[in-house]
């Protein structure tokens, strides 16, 4: 038995397709397939079949729809069981196309992470082959399409992006150009599609178009989402993306072997200083800066100021009458030396250790004596 919801509703057995003509019965079958293996309450089925506007006799009419659906399914009608408070449809593994679709997507991404792009591309293509159109397009229930079609369409875009990555890794970029242009026009909010289109154009030799695509993507993302392109997308505009050749094609080293490029001979250095061989060069270290002071200790400058008073500069030591007279004080005292008076510390008239006053004037000379002969005495 095979059921399909990736497009118009599909029911097929060993003899061929089994159509379900009534629209309400198709909506009932789709609601049971979406919640396969689970008991679906009657209230949920009524709301899905009549799209939120059920009649007064909705419960009785729903039982009639279930009976007609069992006859339309043929031998598979026995799988539709009545449970307490609802109904249950038993579906085996891989009988629903949506289950196979999701499983192939997950396997393809796992192979792509394991660096097996060829097998990943095959799984992605098998998944895309199951897609027959918009999900449940022939159902009258808008509620069911809104809840199921969105996430399945998102899964399809994820598969398309994965297939493009695998094909780019295989080197078959020319076959992606038209498809990526259509996808970026239909889904401009997908940044990964823009990046893949830029890579495809670059590998096709259209570098200016790749830069134009980046500018258009930047404007679209800023207008639609209010964001800038990510680092991965911007990096593809600054450097050449990695290119992997096809497994069945020639490798780059094979082309180089056919046309060898002569290398330039460089003689070895004949002399090398011996000290470089004995002493290897050590890495330079930054100069270590000592702190001005350590916590809990007084700075050195403060101790020096406290215990050693600043001394005045000494006068130049010169001799001679002219120098002594030039450097005398206003009161005629002798000049200072080494920050203190020259007579400081000498014993004075007041006792030892006291400063002496100004030097006393020398005694006056005695008057000349008069001779007897000059006086006439």
In a domain, 160, yes or no: no
126 lies in a domain?
A: no
Higher-scoring residue by pLDDT: 187, 340 = 187
Specify the CATH number for the domain of residue 50: 1.10.10.10
Highest mean pLDDT among 73-87, 94-108, 349-363: 94-108
- pLDDT beyond 80 at 216: yes
Domain encompassing residue 50: 2-89
Residue 187 placed within a domain: yes
Number of domains in the chain: 2
pLDDT at 13 over 50: yes
Sign of torsion over alpha carbons 178, 179, 185, 188: negative
Give the least confident one: 72-76, 136-140, 246-250, 342-346.
246-250
Residue 323 to residue 52: CA distance in whole angstroms: 121
Cα separation, 16 vs 2, whole angstroms: 10
Residue 266 has a pLDDT of: 45
In whole angstroms, give the CA distance from residue 131 to residue 126.
9
Q: Does the residue 27 lie in any domain? A: yes
- Among residues 190, 224, 242, the one where a domain terminates is 242
Instruction: Give the domain-ending residue among 68, 89, 110.
Output: 89
pLDDT at 129: 95
Which pLDDT score is estimated for 114? 94
Instruction: Please give the model's pTM, rounded to 2 decimal places.
Output: 0.60
Q: Which of 89, 116, 140 is the last residue of a domain?
A: 89
CATH code, domain carrying 198: 1.25.40.10
pLDDT of residue 185: 92
Residues 6+ apart with CB under 8 A from 224: 188, 189
Q: Are 244 and 115 in contact (CB under 8 A)?
A: no
pLDDT of residue 51: 87
DSSP of 121-148, one letter per residue?
Answer: HHHHHHHHHT--SSTTTT-S-HHHHHHH
């Amino acid at each position: 038995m095979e059921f399909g919801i990736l497009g118009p509703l599909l029911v097929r057995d060993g003899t061929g397709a089994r159509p379900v003509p009534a629209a309400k019965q198709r909506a009932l079958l789709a609601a049971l397939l979406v919640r396969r293996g689970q008991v679906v309450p009657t209230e949920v089925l009524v709301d899905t079949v009549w799209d939120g506007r059920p009649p007064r006799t909705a419960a009785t009419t729903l039982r009639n729809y279930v009976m007609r659906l069992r006859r339309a399914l043929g031998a598979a009608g026995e799988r539709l069981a009545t449970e307490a408070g609802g109904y249950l449809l038993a579906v085996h593994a891989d009988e629903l196309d949506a289950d196979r679709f999701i499983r192939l997507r997950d396997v393809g991404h796992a192979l792509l992470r394991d660096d097996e792009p060829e097998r990943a591309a095959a799984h992605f293509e098998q998944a895309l082959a199951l897609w027959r159109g918009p999900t449940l397009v022939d159902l009258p229930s808008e509620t069911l399409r809104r809840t199921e079609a969105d996430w399945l369409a998102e899964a399809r875009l994820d598969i398309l992006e994965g297939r493009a990555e695998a094909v780019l890794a295989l080197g078959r970029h020319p076959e992606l150009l038209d498809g990526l242009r259509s996808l970026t026009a239909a889904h401009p909010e997908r940044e990964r599609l823009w990046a893949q289109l830029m890579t495809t154009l670059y590998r096709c030799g259209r570098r200016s178009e790749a830069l134009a695509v980046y500018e258009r993507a930047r404007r679209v993302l800023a207008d639609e989402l209010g964001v800038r392109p990510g680092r991965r997308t911007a990096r593809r505009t600054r450097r050449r993306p990695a290119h992997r050749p096809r497994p069945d094609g020639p490798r780059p080293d094979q082309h180089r072997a056919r046309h060898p490029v002569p290398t330039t001979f460089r003689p070895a250095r004949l002399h090398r200083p011996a000290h470089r061989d004995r002493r290897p060069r050590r890495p330079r270290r930054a100069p270590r800066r000592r702190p001005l002071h350590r916590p809990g200790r007084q700075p050195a400058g403060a101790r020096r100021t406290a215990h050693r008073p600043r001394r005045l500069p000494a006068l130049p030591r010169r001799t001679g009458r002219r120098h002594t007279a030039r450097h005398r004080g206003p009161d005629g005292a002798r000049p200072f030396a080494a920050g203190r008076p020259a007579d400081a510390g000498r014993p004075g008239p007041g006792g030892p250790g006291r400063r002496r006053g100004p030097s006393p004037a020398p005694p006056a000379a005695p008057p000349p004596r008069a001779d007897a002969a000059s006086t006439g005495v």
